[in-house]
Structure 1
């Protein structure tokens, strides 16, 4: 499928045995095509990663060929290594199979009660965090030492959550105290603790492979039957994380990223963020997919 999947509102496609229920900027969500209220619809969902690419809260054209499959393979690899509860369905025998045209970029997952929070963890100062630090010497209410530079490693990873916005709107960085208001003190603390634990585990794994995990975001939901807080959505992909080449970083080149920073940099230089963003040139598309593929190879050895 192309980056701009077509056939249904939001970019989804018709899939045999499945009913399209939602499309986000990058992923499409399906439920089994059974009668409403059937047990299957409450337990299993099919998440399909498209080749669409977004930046600055806009879906761009064209997509990045093969991106959906690369991100899905990376998510699955990380889910296997993190040692925390995740939303993947272990026994898929009760559900329709993922159609062949999306099998490589689809995950069968359990339906969760999602928290309205993006759980962002930063181990390095960069991106919007760097911009905020320059103005306030803090990030999302977390005070940081004076004198830090763009790209510096932080003394300890920090948790800087965001409130998930509806499709097409900007996510809002919020304080930890605000998350307490949104989900309650116990869940807010659990989300922070889990996020920091997963980040530290992943950062060590990446570091052993010559890759720096500068920052990332997680999403969690509650398992309706058990109440367990469960890792969901994509995890530690090139879209949800900022990865750097450790050797390049040590030599002073702090922008050698494996994520979609190539796209952001090109847009920043060629668009004032007003109106419709311009189409990505073929060279930018090719460079981006090459970096996505290189990250997968560096981390997984595949």
Structure 2
């Protein structure tokens, strides 16, 4: 396969048939050897983390595809850590869309004067720019439109898809008595049809999940989800 792009936690290839393949690495974001999904650098390598990420990702993408929610997912080979996807283009230099069900993390740091930690939120959606140099700044609908990154209609569609996807993930986690506090998603356009699609991955590193009020570390989440 031909390497197209080398990312922090995934590499992008083109196979002999011209299909796009994501390879899930064992590299994880963090700092000083400690995992942190919010970090913009590789901080550690954990054997099995790539396979775990793809196992979770393929599980959720298959659920979403079955629910007729548009994604870039085609198929996955968990043992090889490979996921075949549709060719997509990103908005601007990339966006991250967060759906928050409880007040934690950066939301709490910003608005802690007005909300208590862990307070319930009504599937609150916010968008950040993927920009390591500027620490992924939050951006609103008006600025996205002014900068020609998204149209008002595209913003509305992405916000609606975000809530729909996040609610599905929340419900699947609840089956295992797990509670989703927040989740980070990415979107792009299908290069052939122009349709807005969910892209990237859905794994423990994309979300905060709690059980009985206790935080579940991302690498331990698969054990709860896929235990017999």
**In which range does the TM-score fall when normalised by the shorter chain?**
0.7 to 0.9
SS at structure 1 position matched to 2:53: helix
CA contact (8 A) 2:102 2:181 kept: yes
Structure 2 matches for 1:10-49, cutoff 5 A? 18-32=1-15, 40-41=17-18, 44-49=19-24
Q: 2:129 aligns with which of 157, 163, 173?
A: 163
SS at structure 2 position matched to 1:53: strand
Q: Displacement of 1:125 after TM fit?
A: 0.8
Any runs of at least 4 consecutive aligned residues in structure 1 with deviations exceeding 4 A, and if so which? none
SS at structure 1 position matched to 2:198: strand
Aligned counterpart, 2:138: 173
Note if 1:114 corresponds to 2:80: no
Q: Count the aligned residue pairs.
A: 213
SS at structure 1 position matched to 2:74: coil
CA contact (8 A) 2:23 2:83 kept: yes
Measured in 1, the distance between the counterparts of 2:185 and 2:86 equals 17
CA contact (8 A) 1:157 1:196 kept: yes
Structure 2 unpaired stretches of 5+ = 31-38
Aligned counterpart, 1:193: 160
Q: Displacement of 1:104 after TM fit?
A: 3.1
CA contact (8 A) 1:69 1:105 kept: yes
| The structure with more radius of gyration | 1
* TM-score with structure 1 setting the length: 0.65
Q: Displacement of 1:295 after TM fit?
A: 1.5
CA contact (8 A) 1:117 1:179 kept: no
Measured in 2, the distance between the counterparts of 1:121 and 1:230 equals 16
CA contact (8 A) 2:141 2:152 kept: no
Structure 2 matches for 1:68-79, cutoff 5 A? 68-79=50-61
* TM-score with structure 2 setting the length: 0.85
Structure 2 matches for 1:197-276, cutoff 5 A? 197-235=164-202, 237-245=203-211, 247=212, 249=213, 253=214, 256-259=215-218
The alignment yields a C-alpha RMSD, in angstroms, of 2.1
Measured in 2, the distance between the counterparts of 1:223 and 1:243 equals 30
Aligned counterpart, 2:109: 131
Measured in 1, the distance between the counterparts of 2:180 and 2:141 equals 22
SS at structure 1 position matched to 2:13: strand
SS at structure 1 position matched to 2:21: strand
Note if 1:296 corresponds to 2:197: no
Higher strand proportion (structure 1 or 2): 2
1:250-269 per-residue CA deviation (whole Å, 9 max, x = no partner) reads: xxx4xx2232xxxxxxxxxx
Residues 58 and 225 from structure 1, CA distance in 2 versus in 1: closer, same or farther, beyond 3 angstroms? closer
